[in-house]
Structure 1
Amino acid sequence: MIRIQDSRLRWFGPICLFLFGNIFFRLSFWLTSPPRALAHSALVGLGAGMLFWQLNRWVARRIQHRFPGLERTQQRLLMVLLLAPLLVNLAIFSRYTLHILLGSRPTLWMGLVDYVTSFGIQLFYFVVYFSIYEGIYVLQQWRQTYLEKEVLIKQQWQTRFNSLKSQVNPHFLFNSLNSLSALIDESPVQASQFVDELSTMYRYLIQANDQELTQLSTELTFIESYAHLLQTRHGAGVRVSITVPDTYLSYSLPPLTLQLLVENAVKHNIVLADQPLVIDISTTDEGHLQVRNNLQRKTGQVASNGVGLTNIVAKYQMLTGTSIIVREEDNHFTVLLPLLSNPVTQSV
């Protein structure tokens, strides 16, 4: 559709501009001149009009290619201003040369008055050329930006929905309550501690869903509670080690990122006392948060809703424009998360 409209514009635009210019700028010439002079004027006007429409269209496209996007509109306009004298004079002298070749102009110089008049007319045409193509380009860029914004908003709501689904996990809650039921008879003290950790965890889950970023210190506190629940359920089968320098604790990341990674590690790997799953949370020299676990995959298919890493990738892309790094090597699964220096007001 855009190509068809552009093709029509390239054909009908010069004709409309020719008619407009002659009606409003040269009407007296058309009412008083002999047929031969009118024929020459029409031939030169339409021929040069077609030629310079194509030339200025090409120049406009090249400038847009060199300085793309809405944010570089000022640079494109500056380039147009710099090229205006050259292109306008080229149009003037090209038309005058055609008139000389047709024999409708007897001298090699048009005179100052004719030059100024021609300059004003060709400058007007030049403004029309670039106004049309720059206007079309800006409108297309605005539409693209608007559509991208709409897509990001939809992704944001979808990500929040997926995050909520991963938080309110009936299966996890069912297992936690079973563990609690067993602890009540075996160890009332441990059961009480279990309830406190479970309460802390679900309080964080509910409140974190309304935040875009959370401090690493808060996320690590939550993971400690989460790890306590896992260790209560799996005993020595799960080991969670956290080694993060204090200098990184004020950094931020999307909430529940670590919970999703730890949950995925437990879901997809064997968890036994004589074959423990070891999850290490640390930082790298490059300033990434590293979540690493040994690989001991379960045999058979593991039920998964596909939220995990997809959710984390979507959050980082949506909120920060950065990407996470996922590696699988040396019998270990590693995820590197960029840490952000944005200050976060904590409400949890």
Structure 2
Amino acid sequence: MNRNQLYWLLQILGWGSIALVQIALASLSPTGIAPVQIWALIVLAQFNLGATHFLRFIVKRYNWFKLKIPQLLFQSILAMLALSFVNIGAQILINLAFGTLNPEEDFQILVILANLFIAFLFYVMWFLLYFLFHFLDNYNTSLKYEAKINQIRLNHLKSQLNPHFIFNALNSVRALVDEDPTKAKNAITRISNILRFSLMMDKKQTIDFEDELNTVKDYLMLESIRFEERLKVIYRIEDEAFSYKIPPMMLQTIVENAIKHGISNLVKGGIIEIKCREGLEDDLYIQVKNSGHLAVPPSLKPTADGGHGLSNTVQRLKLIYGDRASFRIFNSENEFVITEIKIPKQRVTLEQ
């Protein structure tokens, strides 16, 4: 059950329970409760559900979760008072529609004030429970993200700093020292950039797309030294892509996967094409196309041999963006493998 389904379940159970309690209390009176009064209370519960859902829309639309406490309290009290007055009007209209209105009693000042206080109390309880659930859920999700990002960092450092990677990189540089010193120095700079970026990567959920792309370029430059003519790299990056933020090491992980499982297995090598474009709904589409073929669909779960890249990518997208991001990997024309990620623009705040 996702958060949206849970929200509606709690809404229906909450306001439904209040309606049942009101019906039970009314039935205890000497005159009992008429069927028409039961329907009036059910309609009132539906109104309260709709009213609180509208309040939730306002809270999310104007991002009340980021307000300072004094401003949040002020706006919340005003909103609940306004809903309470609307609730009084709704009660009168509902009773009028069902023929249960008693003008001599329902229009007394004390009765109106009592109904106003009860409505305000109900809305305060709803508001407190909603915000409490939101903050507890965000706290729990943040803990999950922290655990996952630590795992990502460790796995990436392992892949970047393992002896095999260092051995290949240094051997490539050593071969250039005599024949092309300038290129060797450039390669050493690229290695330094990658290691510095890996070691200095903090726990931010997202970083500038340009920073991630620069690291990928450094990595592919080193791999070009190792593969020589067997590797061709193509960049098709739209300018709009640089206005986005993406999870750190995400593009790097996909490119490493393309090298390891695609290019490395081909005698003649192949191409790596990185394409980034903006979609129609302010989404960033990142495609990594590499020569090769998927014999079987790749596992998106961590494997016993340490294969964490794709599974971590999928889980991080889910944790940060929920259902607004997507990941897929598929064959194209039996000659290429395409990995595609969709990332929404900037909106990484987890919502209830």
Q: TM-score, normalised by structure 2?
A: 0.65
- Residue 263 of structure 1: how far off its partner (Å): 1.4
AA aligned to 2:139 is E
What is the alpha-carbon root mean square deviation over aligned residues? 4.2
Give, in angstroms, the shift of residue 115 of structure 1.
1.9
In the alignment, what sits opposite 1:335? 340
Q: CA shift at 1:187, angstroms?
A: 3.5
* 1:142-153 mapped onto 2 (5 Å cutoff): 142-153=131-142
Counting only pairs closer than 5 Å after superposition, residues 158-197 of structure 1 correspond to structure 2 as 158-169=147-158, 173-180=162-169, 182-183=171-172, 186-188=175-177, 189=181, 192-197=185-190
Deviations 1:164-190 (A, max 9, x none): 123211575311322245346644236
User: Is 1:294 matched up with 2:291?
Assistant: yes
Deviation of the 1:54 alpha carbon: 7.0
Contact 1:208 1:256 (8 Å CA) reproduced: no
Unaligned runs of 5+ in 1: 19-41, 97-113, 343-348
Cα distance in structure 2, aligned partners of 1:119 and 1:90: 19
Structure 2: gaps of 5 or more residues: 1-9, 59-78, 348-352
Q: Which amino acid aligns with 2:210?
A: S
CA distance in 2, matches of 1:61, 1:247: 45
Equivalences for residues 67-106 of structure 1 within 5 A? 67-68=52-53, 70-72=56-58, 77=84, 79-87=86-94, 94=100
Kindly state the Cα deviation for residue 80 of structure 1 after the two structures are TM-superposed.
1.5
Q: Which moved more, 1:130-139 or 1:278-287?
A: 130-139
Question: 2:326 is matched with which residue: 321, 324, 335?
Answer: 324
In the alignment, the residues of structure 2 paired with residue 339 and residue 94 of structure 1 have an alpha-carbon distance, to the nearest angstrom, of 51
Match of 2:30 in 1: 43
Residue of structure 2 equivalent to 1:308: 309
Aligned to 1:242: 235
Match of 2:206 in 1: 213
Q: Which has the larger radius of gyration?
A: 1
State the identity as a percent.
Answer: 14
Residue 91 of structure 2 aligns to which amino acid in structure 1? A
Equivalent in 260, 265, 274 of residue 253 of structure 2: 260
Equivalent residue letter for 1:60: A
- Kindly provide the amino acid, as one letter, of the partner of residue 44 in structure 2: V
**SS in structure 2 of the partner of residue 147 of structure 1:** helix
Give the Cα separation in 2 of the matches to 1:283 and 1:248: 6
1:132-147 correspondence runs (5 A): 133-147=122-136
Q: Please, what TM-score do these two structures have when normalized by structure 1? A: 0.66
Aligned amino acid, residue 311 of structure 1 = N
The 5 A counterparts of 1:99-118 are 115=104
CA distance in 2, matches of 1:118, 1:78: 14
Partner AA of 2:21 in structure 1: L
Size of the alignment, in residue pairs? 297
Contact 1:197 1:229 in 2 (8 A): yes
User: In 1, Cα distance between the equivalents of 2:124 and 2:38?
Assistant: 15
Please, which moves more after superposition, 211-220 or 184-193? Answer: 184-193
How far apart, CA to CA, are the structure 2 residues paired with 1:298 and 1:289?
23
The AA in structure 2 aligned to 1:178 is F
Query: Is the 2:208–2:245 Cα contact (8 Å) retained in structure 1?
Result: yes
Q: CA deviation at 1:201?
A: 0.4
Q: 1:284 Cα deviation (Å)? A: 3.5
CA distance in 2, matches of 1:327, 1:180: 28
Deviations for 1:63-108, whole angstroms, at most 9, x for unmatched residues? 31465263456685464143133346679x7487xxxxxxxxxxxx
